[in-house]
C-alpha cells in the first residue's frame, strides 16, 4: 500500500505542475488566471503566447499524464492502481495545489495518460480532434469530440472492463469541464483560432 500511495501522490504532484502559468509568467509576466478563460491550460496560454505557447504547454501537460501512468503500468501491469494514478495526474492538472486548486481542463494530461496505456485508441481520438478542429477552428469542440471518440474506441476495442468504465468517467469529466464552452458553441460565441491572412 505504501508503494501505491507514493505513486498516487507523485502522479498528483506531477500533474499539478502548472506549466501554462509558469511559461506565461516567465515570458510575459502575466498571471494566466487573469486573462482569457482564466484556465491554466494550453488553450489559454495560446491567447497570450500564440501558437508556440499552445504547442509547448500542450506537450508538457501531456507528459504530466504520460510519465506517471507509463511508470505505474510498467511497475504494476494492468492493475486498478494504474487507473487511479491516471486519475491523480488529471486531477492534479485540473485542481493544482500550486494555484489554489484552479488549473486547466485536463485534456492534454488525460491524452498523455491514455497514450501511455492505449496508444492506438489515443491516435483515433487525436485524429478526431484534428478533423473537428480543422473544420471548426475551435479547440474546445475538438477536445469534446475527441473525449467521446476515445471512450467509444476503448469501449469496443479493449477487454479490460475497468478501463472502459474509467475511460467513460474521464471523458465525462473532460466534457463537464467544457460546459461553458458548450454553452458558447450553442450560442455561436465560442472563440476560434483564425488563420492569419497573408500580408496582415
Q: For the chain, what is the radius of gyration of the CA atoms?
A: 17
Q: What integer is the mean pLDDT of 171-193?
A: 90
Cβ contact 105:41 at 8 Å: yes
For the cut 80, the answer to whether the pLDDT of residue 5 exceeds it is yes
Tens-digit pLDDT profile for residues 62-78: 999 999 999 999 999 99
In a domain, 7, yes or no: yes
Domain contains 195: no
**65 belongs to a structural domain:** yes
- Whether residue 124 lies inside any domain: the answer is yes
Check pLDDT > 50 for residue 107.
yes
Residue 192 belongs to a domain? no
Secondary structure in 3-state letters for 62-131: HHHHHHHHHHHHHHHCCCHHHHHHHHHHHHHHHCCHHHCCCCCCCHHHHHHHHHHHCHHHHHHHHHHHHH
pLDDT at 77: 94
* Domain assignment of residue 86, given as a range: 2-187
In a domain, 90, yes or no: yes
Mean of per-residue pLDDT scores for the chain: 92
pLDDT digits (tens, 9 = 90+) for 7-52: 999 999 999 999 999 999 999 999 999 998 888 999 899 889 998 9
How many domains does the chain divide into?
1
The pLDDT tens digits for 115-135 are 999 999 999 999 999 999 999
Whether 197 maps to a domain, the answer reads no
Question: The whole model's pTM is what?
Answer: 0.88
H or E segment at 61?
Answer: helix 51-76
Within-domain flag for 199: no
Amino acid at each position: 500500500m505504501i508503494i501505491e500511495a507514493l505513486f498516487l501522490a507523485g502522479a498528483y504532484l506531477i500533474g499539478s505542475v502548472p506549466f501554462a502559468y509558469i511559461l506565461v509568467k516567465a515570458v510575459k509576466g502575466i498571471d494566466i488566471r487573469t486573462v482569457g478563460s482564466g484556465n491554466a491550460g494550453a488553450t489559454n496560454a495560446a491567447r497570450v503566447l500564440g501558437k508556440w505557447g499552445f504547442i509547448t504547454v500542450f506537450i508538457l501537460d501531456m507528459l504530466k499524464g504520460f510519465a506517471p501512468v507509463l511508470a505505474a503500468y510498467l511497475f504494476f501491469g494492468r492493475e486498478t492502481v494504474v487507473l487511479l494514478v491516471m486519475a491523480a495526474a488529471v486531477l492534479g492538472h485540473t485542481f493544482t495545489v500550486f494555484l489554489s486548486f484552479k488549473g486547466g481542463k485536463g485534456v492534454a494530461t488525460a491524452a498523455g495518460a491514455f497514450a501511455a496505456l492505449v496508444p492506438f485508441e489515443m491516435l483515433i481520438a487525436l485524429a478526431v480532434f484534428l478533423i473537428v478542429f480543422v473544420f471548426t477552428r475551435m479547440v474546445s469542440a475538438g477536445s469534446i469530440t475527441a473525449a467521446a471518440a476515445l471512450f467509444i474506441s476503448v469501449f469496443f476495442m479493449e477487454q479490460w472492463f475497468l478501463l472502459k468504465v474509467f475511460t467513460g468517467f474521464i471523458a465525462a469529466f473532460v466534457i463537464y469541464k467544457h460546459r461553458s464552452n458548450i454553452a458558447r458553441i450553442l450560442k455561436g460565441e465560442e472563440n476560434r483560432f483564425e488563420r492569419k491572412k497573408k500580408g496582415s
